[in-house]
Amino acid sequence: MLKFKTLGQFIIEKQADFPFAKGELSRLLRDIGIAAKIVNREVNKAGLMDILGQAGSTNIQGESQQKLDVYANEQFIAALRCGGECCIVASEENEDIVPLSDQAKYIVAIDPLDGSSNIDVNVAVGTIFSIYRRVSASDCGLSDVLQKGSEQVAAGYVIYGSSTMLVYTTGKGVNGFTLDPSIGEFCLSHPNLQMPRTGTIYSVNEGNYVHFPTGVKQYIKYCQVEDQATGRPYTSRYIGSMVADLHRNLIKGGIFIYPVTASAPNGKLRLVYECNPMAFVIEQAGGRATNGSDRILDLEVTELHQRSPVFIGSDAMVRRAEAFMAAAGELTFNDYSL
Domain boundaries, the chain: 7-190, 201-327
Average pLDDT for 296-309: 97
Give the N- to C-terminal CA distance of the chain in Å, as an integer.
47
Whether the pLDDT of residue 335 is over 50: the answer is: no
- The average confidence (pLDDT) of the chain is 89
Give domain 7-190's CATH architecture.
2-Layer Sandwich (3.30)
What's the confidence (pLDDT) of residue 334? Answer: 38
Residue 182 has pLDDT above 50, yes or no: yes
152: confidence class by pLDDT, cuts 50, 70, 90: very high
Which SS3 state, helix, strand or coil, does residue 326 take?
helix
201-327 — its CATH code?
Answer: 3.40.190.80
Rg of the chain in Å (alpha carbons): 19
The pLDDT-based confidence of 121 (bands split at 50, 70, 90) is: confident
- Strands 125-133 and 106-114, by their bridges, are antiparallel
Examine domains 7-190 and 201-327 and report if their fold is the same: no
pTM of the model: 0.91
Query: Tens of pLDDT along 46-90?
Result: 655 555 555 555 555 555 556 888 899 999 999 999 999 999 999
Is 80 exceeded by the pLDDT of residue 202? yes
User: Residue 55 to residues 249, 301, 302: CA-CA distances in angstroms?
Assistant: 32, 30, 30
Contacts of residue 276, defined as CB under 8 A and 6 or more positions apart, other chains included, come to 109, 130, 149, 152, 155, 296, 297, 301
Higher pLDDT, 22 or 279: 279
> Using a CB cutoff of 8 Å and minimum separation of 24, what contacts does 216-221 make?
216/257, 216/259, 216/321, 216/324, 216/325, 218/324, 218/327, 218/328, 219/257, 219/320, 219/321, 219/324, 219/325
Per the CB < 8 A criterion, the answer to whether 241 and 122 are in contact is: no
